[in-house]
Chains A and B, each alone.
Chain A
Amino acid sequence: DTGVSQNPRHKITKRGQNVTFRCDPISEHNRLYWYRQTLGQGPEFLTYFQNEAQLEKSRLLSDRFSAERPKGSFSTLEIQRTEQGDSAMYLCASSLGRGNIQYFGAGTRLSVL
């Protein structure tokens, strides 16, 4: 257990529905990252926060995706109008600043039917 908690672990939804995932980072970590991983590939960066500020978003993050970290603690990732191509493992990581170890949660596995 790395100390990064993600919920739910699995989510099955129908195409067109909205889904929301939650990440609770290691408490003293100021940086929180979201990645997406598809089968057989390494994680791909989506977005990251320093405290409550969202500082960078990948081009992978379409306008159907939104992330928040309202009080600089937990974060949520919402996907609106899900598509089958959104099926993937969504991973959250946290770190104490740049150039330090990013600790990952166990991920949320999304299946869009």
Chain B
Amino acid sequence: GESVGLHLPTLSVQEGDNSIINCAYSNSASDYFIWYKQESGKGPQFIIDIRSNMDKRQGQRVTVLLNKTVKHLSLQIAATQPGDSAVYFCAENPYGYSTLTFGKGTMLLVSP
């Protein structure tokens, strides 16, 4: 499949490590945020979302943290597995708009 990860920031971890992927968003009026995972040749796959009235949300092996003061999101993946290798995008939804604005993406490489 074709790579969507050319010239992206890359995070390399060992299997079993915890991974933290960071994202700076641009619009202080954004009130909804989503993290997506994209594997080569596939569409973005929903991982977890968070609304601006929350600071933290947990899913299965994933946690999203939101710091509205500095307009920063992070995605934490616990016990990272080789199947987690992909490009990860954060996306923001400004209040009053219906569209998502995507960040630049981070490639996560997990070594066995």
Q: Which secondary structure dominates where chain B touches chain A?
A: loop
Q: Does A74 touch B at the CB level, under 8 Å?
A: no
Q: Does B65 touch A at the CB level, under 8 Å?
A: no
Q: A48-B99, A56-B99, A102-B34 are in contact. Are A42 and B43 (CB under 8 A)?
A: no
Query: How many residues of chain B are within 8 Å of chain A by beta carbon?
Result: 31
Q: How far is the CB of B11 from chain A (nearest CB, A)?
A: 16
A40 contact set on B, CB distance < 8 A: 4-8, 105
B36 contact set on A, CB distance < 8 A: 104
Residue of A nearest to B100 (CB): A102
Residues of B bordering A, CB below 8 Å? 2-8, 31-32, 34, 36, 41-46, 49, 51, 89, 91, 93, 97-105
Residues of A bordering B, CB below 8 Å? 2, 4, 6, 31, 33, 37, 39-45, 48, 50, 55-56, 58, 89, 91, 98-99, 101-107, 109
